[in-house]
């Protein structure tokens, strides 16, 4: 998929979405979280090269598109079934699953460990940790960010902000909105002018890296 055009990647995303819906309708599982990361998953696998590059999915329940793109499409009918595919990333299942998950807020610390190990071995592969805004509320995530900032090694942390900082709870009137200081902080960040300009520059680009210079200009404002 490295040589696919933007249009072809969009078609691939549509096919992935259909696959996820079809399989989850048969096996059960997490639907919304996987549909929400289809384009992100396609973009990551278009740019990075697993298993050399490490992509870590926090909690791991949103890894169905990742599984399909890494050679497990034919086994998706066994998802969450006895002796079938795991509903989460699992190292014993594929070399593309660099970290076994199931509990939230662990990928930044795991990714930091992988990045430090890489540096000690003199390698130059990428380490990417994908974490949701809900998982970012846990202490382990903050501790990992603190250590990552101090150690200053090369790794990428992608915040998947789906505006569910706290797990939604239900009452007689229906679901209640997310609450907490982090929710407010992320809402303010979303309205930041520089971030909006960065987002628009990315949308307008026809190449993964062609707009890098423009991004740098925006970030330096």
pLDDT value of residue 43: 95
At 142-152, the pLDDT tens digits run 999 999 999 99
Average pLDDT of the chain to the nearest whole number: 86
User: pTM of the predicted model, to two decimals?
Assistant: 0.80
What is the rounded CA–CA span in Å between residue 67 and residue 65?
Answer: 5
How far is the CA of 101 from the CAs of 72, 86, 147, 170, in angstroms? 18, 10, 21, 27
Q: Omega before 124 cis (within 30°)?
A: no
- Domain borders along the chain are 6-166
- Which of residues 121 and 103 earns the better pLDDT score? 121
Judged by average pLDDT, the poorest of 47-61, 103-117, 136-150, 202-216 is: 202-216
What is 6-166's CATH topology? Answer: Rossmann fold (3.40.50)
Q: What is the pLDDT of residue 218?
A: 46
Listed in order, strand segments (DSSP E) in 36-88 are 54-57
In this predicted structure, what is the pLDDT of residue 136? 86
Where is average pLDDT lowest: 95-99, 115-119, 153-157, 214-218?
Answer: 214-218
* CA-CA-CA-CA dihedral for 45, 47, 53, 58, to nearest 10: -60
């Amino acid at each position: 998929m490295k040589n696919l055009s933007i249009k072809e990647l969009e078609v691939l995303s549509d096919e992935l979405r259909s696959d996820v819906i079809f399989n989850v309708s048969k096996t059960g599982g997490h639907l919304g979280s996987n549909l929400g990361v289809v384009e992100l998953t396609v973009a990551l696998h278009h740019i990075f090269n697993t298993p050399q590059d490490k992509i870590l999915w926090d909690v791991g329940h949103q890894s169905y598109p990742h599984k399909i793109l890494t050679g497990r499409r034919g086994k998706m009918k066994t998802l969450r079934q006895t002796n079938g595919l795991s509903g989460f990333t699992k190292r014993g299942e594929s070399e593309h699953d660099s970290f076994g998950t199931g509990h939230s807020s662990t990928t930044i610390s795991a990714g930091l460990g992988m990045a430090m190990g890489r540096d000690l071995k003199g390698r130059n592969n990428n380490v990417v940790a994908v974490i949701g805004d809900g998982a970012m509320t846990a202490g382990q995530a903050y501790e990992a960010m603190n250590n990552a900032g101090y150690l200053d090694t090369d790794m990428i942390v992608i915040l998947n902000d789906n505006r569910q900082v706290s797990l939604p709870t239900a009452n007689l009137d229906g679901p209640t909105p997310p609450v907490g200081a982090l929710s407010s902080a992320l809402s303010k960040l979303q309205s930041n002018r520089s971030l909006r300009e960065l987002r628009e520059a990315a949308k307008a680009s026809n190449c993964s890296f062609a707009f890098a210079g423009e991004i740098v200009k925006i970030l330096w404002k």
